[in-house]
Every structure is written in structure tokens, then in C-alpha cells.
Amino acid sequence: MLDIKFLRENPEAVKQNIRNKFQDQKLGLVDEVIELDAKKRKTQQEADQLRADRKKISKQIGSLMGAGKKAEAEAMKEKVNADAARLEELSELEKELDEKILKIMMVIPNIIDPSVPIGKDDSENVEIEKFGEPVVPDFEIPYHTDIMESLHGLDLDSARKVAGNGFYYLMGDIARLHSAVIAYARDFMINRGFTYCIPPFMIRSNVVTGVMSFAEMDAMMYKIEGEDLYLIGTSEHSMIGKFIDTIIPEEELPKTLTSYSPCFRKEKGAHGIEERGIYRIHQFEKQEMIVVCKPEDSMMWFDKLWKNTVDLFRSMDIPVRTLECCSGDLADLKVKSIDVEAWSPRQKKYFEVGSCSNLGDAQARRLKIRVSGSDGKYFAHTLNNTVVAPPRMLIAFLENNLQEDGSIRIPDVLVPYMGGMKSITK
């Protein structure tokens, strides 16, 4: 959410940012919120004047009563009563204007970083760099579900009977591999100085609206019936929510946390949920990283975060590339975002396995996450990034480590987490 003062002083910059995100339908909101803001400030001024007058008149009433001028005092009291009624009207109007302004400000997109490429959608995202040499083996690579089923590691049919499409049973060594990757990712981030955390898997609505846009909320979140609780779509939501309505001493920054959680997503409007696979599903597990830092440090942390994911995948011999998200592909709260994509030997192309985002002070402003520094209080910057998210990540892992005999090679870094196993065989 933008600072209303910034919008008031820079309306054309806000409008140009909206155009850059190809959301021209929101252009009228800028003028609307400026008009509402002017009414609110005028209302506040009148209310403040009435309060000042009431204080002054109250003193005058006391003086008149002391001088025996009862009739004049009573006349003053009538004015005080009339002003009190008007003050109540103004308070209600101010509250109404505040609600209208907040509702509009919550849908005006954040100002994107000047380095973000301008483009309408993800088809115009820009490749930044490749890491590792993509390899296509001489033998045919089966579809990922076929690989898993050949190793007795996946049961989609039973899951469909139990929960419907978009769910799965992982079994045996594949389930163990899934847990091994999560455990390795946890230790990888701890070794990089991040504090490990297991957060709540449900959050209240004020946290939901603090960390994402209404459109994202509608497309992603599962609501708990009869309660003000939502299942998390990613642990970054509850991790950032951890700092709601807090004032952090500047010397305690940055806060660097890595978290494990299951994730639940409706995937509303998503294509492929009916497909036989585990690429787009309603339930998965993830290791996440978040940072709360000073504004001047956020871009430095942004680069560190996506590099952590690249390093993790390369340590497992999986080629990856980074992709800069264009303006039209950025969620409204994001300042800048980079996707990490893994190589798929079967498809002979890369696919997304993680996303790194700098949200500036947008989430902090909504959640009132402030920093106390030598020059006063200010809003923190927040960032998040996927460490690893199996089972989607398992697709890349299995394809890149599949051997011609159908076995799966276990990279050295995962061997200790697999009980010493160096391969998964039929």
C-alpha cells in the first residue's frame, strides 16, 4: 500500500506506474482518492477547530458563572451542545472517509523499481542468467508421474478418491526423498545464518489482507468456515505476520528467518489442476525464507535471497536460470521479483520452482511493521523467497537425476538425509 502523502504529491507518477502495469482501469482511483483525502482533511480541520473552540468556551463559561452572569453562561452552554452534535457528525464522516480511502489504497499497485522491464504478462519476462549446463540424455525421459509410479512412490488414484483432484500420496523412497530435500534445505539456510521457524498454518483475515492483494486472496486462500481463519498458501504470510503491529529497534535488523510449512491453494482459475501430475496441486510443502530489513538494504538482500535458491539447486546438480518478472506479471504489492526456473530434460525447457520478491514497505505499511531508529520511526522493508517447494521441485530432481536403467541418482549432499542411499532403484 502506498503512502497517501506520496500519492497526494505525485499523482502523475502513480498513474504512470498503473499504466506500466497495464491496469488502466485503475487510473480513475488516483483522482478519486485525492478528492476523498481533501474532504477528510477539511473535515479534520473543522473538527479540530470545534475542539479548540469548546476548550476556549468552557473556560469562558466558568468565568461568566463566577461573575454571576448566568444567562450569558447558559447561552454559551447551548453553543457547546450544538458544537458537540456537529463534532459527532464530523467524527462519523471522518471514519467513513477513512474506510473509503483505505479500500481504494489497497488496490492501487505499489511503485515498481525502475529496473523492472515493462511488459504485459509472463510471456514478456526477461531471462537474466543460466547456471549449470542443461543436458538432454540419449534415452527417453518419462512423464514425472510415470517415473514415480515405476518406483512405487506415487498414488494419485487413491488421493482422488479421498480428496479429489490436486492431491496425492507420496510413498516409500519417493516420500523419503521429499522429506530429505526439505530437511537439506532447512539446514542449508541455517548454515547461511537464517533462524529456523515453524509458523502457524492458519492466519487471521487482517494478516491475509496485510500480505497480499484482494485478487490474490480470492484466487488462493481457503477459508475456515465459521472462524476468522485462513489456511496459509505459503509460510511467508504467517512469517511476515509475526511482526504485525510491532516497533523493531533498528539495531535488531535484519530479521532473517527460514520456515517450513504445508501450503494450501485453491488455484482458482489455474489451468492444469485436472492433469495427471503434481506440478499444480492444492497441497504441498515448502521451505521459505523471509527478511525484514532497513529500506536501504532491501535490494542487497533481494540479490542474496534468489542466489540462495540458485546455490541450493546447483548443489543438487540441477541446472537453473533466473527470470526477471516484467511489470505486468508483478503482483500489486511487489517492487521487483525474480523467478528461479529449473531445467526439464523431458520438456527441453525451464519451469518455475521458486520466486523471490521485494515488497518494499507495502506489507509493513499494511501490517504496521515499524522500525525505531536514531532519526525516528519508519516502515521496514520485507522480502521473501522460495528455498524449495517439493513435490514440484521433485519433477526437476527426478528428470535430472534419472538413469537409463530407471534408477534415480542421489546427489552427495542428500545422501546423509537418505540414510546413506546413493540411488533409488526399482
* Boundary (domain end) residue, out of 48, 72, 105: 105
Q: Give the model's pLDDT for residue 117.
A: 97
Q: Is the pLDDT of residue 65 over 70?
A: no
- The candidate with the shortest Cα–Cα distance to 394, out of 153, 161, 196, is 153
**Which residues span the domain enclosing 23?**
4-105
Look at residue 320 and tell me if it is in a domain: yes
The pLDDT tens digits for 212-222 are: 877 788 888 99
Look at residue 385 and tell me if it is in a domain: yes
Whole-structure pTM value: 0.89
Look at residue 87 and tell me if it is in a domain: yes
Q: Which amino acid is at 176?
A: R
DSSP string, 256-279: EEEEEEEEE---TT-TTTTSSSSS
Residues 87 and 136 in one domain: no
Structural domain total, the chain: 2
Look at residue 115 and tell me if it is in a domain: no
Look at residue 264 and tell me if it is in a domain: yes
Average pLDDT, the chain: 92
Binning pLDDT at 50, 70 and 90, where does residue 63 land? low
Look at residue 255 and tell me if it is in a domain: yes
| Spatial separation of the C-alpha atoms in residues 247 and 34, rounded to whole Å | 29
Task: Give the residue-averaged pLDDT of 329-354.
Answer: 96
Residue 134 belongs to domain with CATH number: 3.30.930.10
* Boundary (domain end) residue, out of 73, 105, 137: 105
Write out the three cell numbers for 388. 524449495
Residue 39 belongs to domain with CATH number: 1.10.287.40
Task: Give the residue-averaged pLDDT of 26-41.
Answer: 96
Q: Is the pLDDT of residue 270 over 60?
A: no
Q: Give the model's pLDDT for residue 66.
A: 63
Residues 165 and 96 in one domain: no
Binning pLDDT at 50, 70 and 90, where does residue 275 land? low
Instruction: Confirm if 306 and 92 have CB atoms less than 8 A apart.
Output: no
Look at residue 388 and tell me if it is in a domain: yes
